[in-house]
Structure 1
Amino acid sequence: MKGVNVVIYIILLHGVNGDEDTCEMSACEALQQSQMELREFADSLEENNTNSYLCGKSQRTTKKWIECGRGPCKCRPETRTLSCWQNYLSSLPADQVLPHDVRSIDLGINRLSTLNKDAFQMLSLLSELDLFDNVLDHLPENIFEKLESLKYLRLHKNRIEDVPENLLSSLFAFTDLISLRRLFLAENNVTLLPTGVFDRLTNLEVLNLRKNQISYIPQNLFDKLHNIRIIQLTNNKLTQIGVNDFRRLTNIAELHLGQNFIVDIPENSFVENRNMEKLFLLANNLEELKEKTFNGLISLTSLFLNNNMIKNIHSRVFTYTPSLQKLQLDSNKLNFLPSKSLDFLTQLVSIKLARNPWHCDCNILYLAIWVSNNNEKLWDSESSCRGPGVLGGLLLKDMSFDDLCDGQWASMTNLSPRIPIRNKPNEELKESRNESQA
């Protein structure tokens, strides 16, 4: 109706100026003029409506945050955060208003055992969700549906158990979390992770599965995690790793496999992990390091192999880790290190060698000389001989060629030799007899 009035207004405007002016504008020109003025009028109406809408929306949002502050949780509209941290809640408060533009929700350290499947619906701007340290053993299917802005999800210290019966079973609880950067599932009771459970998390950078009951890594479990930087699998029940388990992780920087029961690392398991900087293999059941155990780890700076049962190390095992700066070999079953095995570590800054049963005969001469020349790099208690005989307890760095290689005879009387016994030439034997008779 307003548009019709405008047209009438235009016609009347041109008609009141007399006969001479009445015929100066054609019908087409009048139509064009009216269309232009109608567009201007419509634009002004739209601007007014938009301003009214934004004003109304702002008022409604402000009202929601005011109502949010009346509940038991702390609401901060200036940062768009809601915190129910350590409120000893057994369920979400019915009177707690949850604004749709909330950015962060902290429900950590409570007594929550379950959550409604619609608890986080319509929170399209939510980027951080803390549910750690509760008693959750089950999360409903699709509870994280459409949380496409979520970057940090903390579920550690709960009671999440076998995947087929709970959270991870509905593969897929993580399907919509395409922006997720950090996922914390540590200190639960997870025993099984099905293949594909992490496939949509292509932006994930940190995955923490520490202190669960995981006994093996399913095939292709991590293959789609192209941006992953840190994987934490410390303190699980792993007994082995497959040669392809981590092959697709070309950007990984830290891999934590300590405190498991791993007995062997297949050669070339890390051949594609050229950006890895830290590898944690401490407190496992490793007995041997083969030549290509660490093949591919050209950027590795820290290697933790302490508290294993390592007896044998290939002489070239460290040729594949030229950037290594920190090496822990303490608390193993090593009697000696092969000749030249540490010479490839030109960037080495610190090394731990203590609490190994170093057997001080000719086989350990290389290590004794290396320790003497690099004593400033030892950052634990000084390594000492376990034996044989009177050499027991003496420091490696103080051992000389005469101590070790003349002592070979003492070693042979107590232990079977690890190298063939070479008889002294006849002239040396005669001199030895003459010296003993004298």
Structure 2
Amino acid sequence: VNCSGQGHREVPLPLPKNTSILLLSTNHLASVSTASFQHLPELIDLDLSYNGLSALQTGTPMPLLQELILSHNALELLPSLQGLPALTHLALAHNNITQLAPGHFRDVKLLKELNLRGNRLRTLPEEIFEGLAKLQDLDLSDNTLEELPQGLLAGLELETLRLSGNQLRTLPSGFFPEEHMFAYVFLAGNPWRCDCDLAYLQGWISDNEFSV
């Protein structure tokens, strides 16, 4: 069901009960609750991008939801992800998120793609992605990241990592998991500081230049 660009200020009712994909982008939904979708038991994909959304209440479970698009909104805090156990794709690009709390992703263990591009993150807790063993694509580009903890990627089996367009000057030794093969790693657009602290990254790039 495509309800994009219709000027909605609330989730429209009624909608077909068998709706599995709902597009609500480019409306005026300043605040949304998952309770608004309880009449849609088969909902799998939900697009809430370009709404000026400042709050998403997720207290009511959506057990089948796999894709949630919240990009290009006004979120300052990452919504709680409890009640979304089937989520595999989460897009939060171009919001105003400044920090992430440890354990915030522990309830979405099936997550494969996480897009945090274009927020205001300056650093991340070391254990923020703990438990996301299925995560394949992580986009942290175009934030204001100045440093990253050594164990940030521990336990991950990423295929693609995007760190472009931040304020990174170096990466700690051992940052990339040993013997892990990435398909793509994007590092451009950072003010890398060319001194001895960069030796680890230089060596890693030399060994993995096919994917960087």
TM-score, length of structure 1 as denominator length: 0.45
> Which structure has greater strand proportion?
2
Report the CA distance between 1:371 and its aligned residue: 5.7
Q: Does the alignment pair 1:159 with 2:28?
A: yes
Percent sequence identity over aligned pairs: 26
Partner-residue secondary structure (3-state), 1:130: coil
Runs of 4+ in 1 over 4 A off after TM superposition: 362-375
Q: Secondary structure at the match of 1:306?
A: coil
Other structure's SS at 1:261 match: coil
- Conserved in 1, the CA contact under 8 Å of 2:170 and 2:201? no
Of the three residues 66, 85, 95, the one matched with 1:205 is 66
Match of 2:163 among 279, 282, 305: 305
Matched, 1:317 2:175: yes
CA gap of 1:226–1:284, structure 2 versus 1, over 3 A, is same
Distance change in 2, residues 1:265/1:134 (3 Å): same
Q: Distance in 1 between matches of 2:35 and 2:113?
A: 26
User: Residue in 2 aligned with 1:134?
Assistant: 6
Q: Which structure carries more helix by proportion?
A: 1
Give me the whole-angstrom Cα distance separating, in 2, the residues matched to 1:315 and 1:160: 44
Task: Please state if 1:254 is matched with 2:117.
Answer: no
Q: 1:284: which partner in 2?
A: 143
Cα drift, residue 309 of structure 1: 0.7
Secondary structure of the residue aligned to 1:153 is strand
Number of paired residues? 212
Q: Unpaired runs of 5+ in structure 1?
A: 1-128, 336-357, 380-438
- Structure with larger RCO (C-alpha < 8 A, sep 6+): 2
* Cα offsets for 1:27-49 (capped at 9, x unmatched): xxxxxxxxxxxxxxxxxxxxxxx
> Structure 2: how far apart are the matches of 1:228 and 1:277?
14
- Structure 2: gaps of 5 or more residues: none
Q: CA deviation at 1:136?
A: 1.7
- Cα deviation per residue 1:48-107 (whole Å; 9 max; x = unaligned)? xxxxxxxxxxxxxxxxxxxxxxxxxxxxxxxxxxxxxxxxxxxxxxxxxxxxxxxxxxxx
Aligned to 1:224: 83
Cα separation, partners in 2 of 1:367 and 1:240, compared to 1, 3 Å: closer
- 1:189 matched to 2:189? The reply is no
Q: Which protein has the larger Cα radius of gyration, Structure 1 or Structure 2?
A: 1
Residue correspondence of structure 1 range 252-401 to structure 2 within 5 A: 252-297=111-156, 299-319=157-177, 322-335=180-193, 358-359=194-195, 377=210
Q: Distance in 1 between matches of 2:81 and 2:200?
A: 41
Could you list the per-position Cα deviations for residues 83-140 of structure 1 after superposition, in whole angstroms to 9, with x for gaps in the alignment?
A: xxxxxxxxxxxxxxxxxxxxxxxxxxxxxxxxxxxxxxxxxxxxxx111122222346
- Cα RMSD (Å) of the superposition? 2.4
1:173 alignment partner AA:
S
| 1:305 positional shift | 0.5
